[in-house]
Structure 1
Amino acid sequence: MSAWSVAWLVWLAVFVVLETVALLNGTPDDTLSEHIWRWAGLHASGVWAAIRRAILAGALGWLVVHFLSAGRV
């Protein structure tokens, strides 16, 4: 296993621990989903919120295509 594989697995483990703690403590605005909702303006209105939502949708769309095309996109 390469050092990169180990680093990504450590990163994933840290994420799982952080998200689990955030889910179990019941405090609002601490999970990754809640941060992304706030950053993307999903509970906001106006032009700037629409732009942030479009950026999120584009990034997520690209990520799905990137994964499913095995990195050819």
Structure 2
Amino acid sequence: MRLITNFDADGNIVSIITAPDGGLRPSIPDLPLQQRQVEIDAPDISAELDDVEIHRRLRNIMTQYKVDPDGPKFVAR
């Protein structure tokens, strides 16, 4: 699964949208000037998981990680 991730200048994740591998990228509204957007692969999140587990893993990413803008990749807080 791919994660389209919006983040601020400090790498704090503002939002995450999931997109299946090989699928179309979702349409994303314009970002505020102080935010950037990257696409990061998330092999531990797949469409085979139930919605509750996907949301649990996304919450974990948002609370335990931030975006390394030079990566792009998730790094521990």
TM over 0.5: no
**Higher strand fraction: Structure 1 or Structure 2?**
2
TM-score between the two structures when normalised by the length of structure 2: 0.26
> Which of the pair has more CA radius of gyration?
1
TM-score by length of 1: 0.27
